[in-house]
């Protein structure tokens, strides 16, 4: 069983600020941190730390940041494919406020050059016991091709459509699980009062809605399951959604029931938000496995 993560890699530049800036305002950061990130890399690393066999396919540039990404992936994700593009390695600039909330601006020049054929070839064979995970940083055409390859191979297809750059309507039918936050749900449904059921009506198999401090809710045609957020002092919320996704997906692939998988995801995400940074804040392999073990024993 392999989890094929097809997404992006970024070099993250994180600024700690007293609060998020207002329009036109300049703030002085109290700290600057440079880290490896990108939703594709983040989710792949966290899935591997949760015990999954992971193959990451992503694009980087022929620059120093790309070399650092290759070195990092070589340690965390041996066997993955980082394809070198004629572009700079993508970057994210992240402002983190003292209450842990953040604003993120990312480039996608390298990710945008990963074409459908190259992506599918880099994935290789997909088995019926596998999972395919995508996000929103690639082009629509490449994302569709990857999801279709996963569906054709009989894999479990998981989409985290963040950032939302184009319409997902006709891609939802290729997704066995869609993971979104409240803002993303509103964009996908076209309404601030949009519900997970609206995505089910567009043929998504299941919807996992993350709600920050309010926890998360998993919805299928058969019903709903929810979990409260773990009580923790929030330092930085960057990467929390990626951690939640990885722990939930790993738990489900490991045979956990939905309620147990939600508890594992909430516990893992709580560790991430209690620390500063992106990849540097992620739970270790020991911590991820501990989250899965503890919640898995609570049936």
pLDDT digits (tens, 9 = 90+) for 200-247: 999 999 999 999 989 999 999 999 999 999 889 888 888 899 999 999
Token pair in block for residue 97: 């406020």
Q: Indicate the number of domains in the chain.
A: 1
| C-alpha 195: how far from chain center | 21
Question: Of 272, 278, 237, nearest to 40 (Cα)?
Answer: 278
Token pair in block for residue 229: 């957020």
Question: Of 196, 191, 223, nearest to 208 (Cα)?
Answer: 196
Residues 210, 216: contact at Cβ < 8 Å? Answer: yes
Q: Looking at residue 97, which CATH number applies to its domain?
A: 3.40.1190.20
Output the pLDDT for position 262. Answer: 97
Distance, in Å, from the CA atom of 190 to the CA atom of 1, rounded to the nearest integer, reads 36
Q: Which residue has the tokens 């997906």?
A: 249
HSE, CB side, 13 Å, CA atoms: give it for residue 124: 12
Distance, in Å, from the CA atom of 235 to the CA atom of 239, rounded to the nearest integer, reads 12
pTM of the entire predicted model? 0.93
Helix (H, G, I), strand (E, B) or coil at 248: helix
Query: Within 10 Å of residue 83's Cβ, how many Cβ atoms?
Result: 16
Q: Which long-range contacts (CB under 8 A, 24 or more apart) does 251-257 make?
A: 251/50, 251/292, 251/295, 251/296, 253/1, 253/3, 253/52, 253/131, 253/156, 254/51, 254/292, 254/296, 256/292, 256/295, 256/296, 257/299
Question: Of 275, 282, 278, 240, nearest to 92 (Cα)?
Answer: 278
Q: Using DSSP bridges, classify how beta strands 207-210 and 216-220 pair: parallel, antiparallel or unpaired.
A: antiparallel
Q: Give the structural domain span for 244.
A: 3-21+29-296
Residues 92, 13: contact at Cβ < 8 Å? Answer: yes
Instruction: Give the bridge partners for 8, in sequence order.
Output: 59
Output the pLDDT for position 249. Answer: 98
Give me the count of residues in the chain. 299
For the chain, residues with pLDDT lower than 70 are: 295-299
Output the pLDDT for position 295. Answer: 62
Ranges of beta strands (E only) in the chain are 3-8, 10-16, 31-37, 54-61, 81-85, 90-96, 102-106, 131-134, 156-159, 177-181, 207-210, 216-220, 223-227
Query: Cis (ω within 30 of 0) for the bond into 15?
Result: no
Helix (H, G, I), strand (E, B) or coil at 128: coil
Output the pLDDT for position 298. Answer: 40
């Amino acid at each position: 069983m392999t989890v094929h993560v097809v997404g992006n890699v970024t070099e993250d530049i994180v600024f700690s600020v007293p609060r998020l800036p207002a329009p036109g305002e300049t703030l002085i950061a109290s700290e600057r941190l440079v880290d490896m990130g990108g939703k594709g890399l983040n989710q792949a690393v966290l899935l591997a730390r949760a015990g999954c066999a992971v193959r990451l396919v992503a694009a980087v540039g022929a620059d120093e940041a790309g070399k650092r990404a290759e070195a990092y992936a070589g340690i965390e994700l041996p066997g993955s494919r980082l394809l070198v593009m004629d572009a700079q390695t993508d970057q994210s600039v992240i402002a983190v406020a003292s209450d842990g909330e953040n604003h993120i601006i990312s480039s996608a020049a390298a990710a945008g050059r990963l074409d459908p054929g190259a992506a599918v070839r880099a994935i290789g064979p997909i088995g019926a016991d596998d999972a395919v995970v995508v996000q929103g940083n690639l082009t629509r055409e490449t994302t569709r091709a990857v999801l279709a390859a996963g569906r054709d191979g009989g894999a479990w297809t998981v989409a985290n459509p963040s950032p939302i750059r184009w319409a997902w309507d006709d891609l939802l039918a290729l997704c066995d699980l869609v993971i979104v936050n409240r803002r993303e749900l509103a964009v996908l449904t076209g309404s601030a009062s949009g519900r997970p059921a609206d995505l089910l009506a567009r043929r998504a198999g299941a919807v996992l809605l993350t709600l920050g401090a309010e926890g998360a809710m998993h919805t299928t045609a058969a019903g709903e399951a929810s979990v409260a957020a773990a009580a923790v002092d929030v330092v930085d919320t960057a990467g929390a959604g990626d951690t939640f996704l990885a722990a939930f997906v790993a738990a489900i692939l490991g045979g956990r029931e939905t309620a147990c998988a939600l508890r594992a995801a909430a516990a893992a995400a709580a560790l991430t938000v209690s620390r500063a940074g992106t990849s540097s804040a992620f739970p270790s392999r020991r911590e991820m496995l501990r989250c899965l073990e503890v919640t898995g024993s609570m049936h």
